[in-house]
Chains A and B, each alone.
Chain A
């Protein structure tokens, strides 16, 4: 079925960067992509971006271009999300999710959604 386990909570100062990891197990890592979604306190879900398992393709969400970097390590089946120039409004819970699409050309025609989710990583940005 698959499982995603994320790294622990982080507290960062404004202007700093944060890197969150997402360890995949129980499924063929290379057959799926990984999507990152965040949720500010009391707010809804916000799509951040998608990365192929081999890290060769990425799609970044509007508003994150230039600040967001997504990478993968296929040897450890781990995905990473690094967000820079942190601001107070970046305070949120960050989720990784297994994405049915493993190539950009899959979207949207062959897209089946995000069916396995990590437990979330709380990131607090405060001076």
Chain B
């Protein structure tokens, strides 16, 4: 099974633009991003590398190049403080990255 690697933490100040990386995977399968607040279920944030489900603000964007992907959040807000997970289809199922805790200073 492939492995997706994320930094354990990231931080930024309100209004700033930050990125969270996700490396590994097959390089040919799409990457997905999920946002999770403590004690709640995850929420699909980005699908197929760079598409936003309805209701997700344009401040959130995704990109992918080769075996690396990134989630960018512009105009950072305090309510963006959460855990972020990347995911992709692996050899025989979905694999998740280890997750990144975003702290808004």
With a cutoff of 8 Å between Cβ atoms, the chain B residues found around residue A119 in the complex are 40-41
Question: Hey, which chain A residues are within 8 Å of B88, CB to CB?
Answer: 108
Contact A44 B89 (CB under 8 A): no
Chain B residues with a Cβ closer than 8 Å to the other chain, count = 26
- The interface stretch among B13-21, B29-37, B64-72, B73-81 is B29-37
Cα A62 to Cα B1 in complex, Å, equals 9
A97: B residues at CB distance < 8 A: 41-42
Q: Are A62 and B93 in contact (CB under 8 A)?
A: yes
CB distance from B34 to the nearest CB of A (A): 7
Q: In the assembly, what is the distance between CA of A124 and CA of B92, in Å?
A: 28
Considering only CB atoms, which chain A residue lies closest to B99 in the complex?
A44
Q: Does B95 contact A (CB under 8 A)?
A: yes
Q: Which of B36, B48, B96 meets A46, CB within 8 Å?
A: B96
CA distance A95 to B48 in the complex (A): 22
Majority secondary structure, A binding face: strand
- Closest residue of chain B to A120 (Cβ to Cβ) is B41
Task: Please tell me the size bucket of the interface on A.
Answer: 20 to 34
**Interface flag for B53 (CB, 8 Å):** yes
A9 sits at the interface (CB 8 A) = no
Q: Are B42 and A117 in contact (CB under 8 A)?
A: yes
Q: How far is the CA of A112 from the CA of B89 in the complex (A)?
A: 11
Q: With a CB–CB cut-off of 8 A, which chain B residues contact A61?
A: 92-93
Asked if A113 meets B43 with Cβ closer than 8 Å, knowing A44-B85, A44-B98, A62-B1, the reply is no
Please list the residues of chain A having a beta carbon within 8 angstroms of any beta carbon in chain B: 35, 37, 44-47, 49-50, 59-62, 95, 97, 107-108, 111-115, 117-120
List the interface of chain B (C-beta within 8 A of A): 1, 29-30, 32, 34, 36, 40-44, 47-48, 53, 85, 87-89, 92-99
- Supply 6 further A-B pairs (C-beta < 8 A) apart from A61-B92, A62-B1, A95-B41: A46-B96, A49-B93, A62-B92, A62-B93, A95-B42, A107-B89
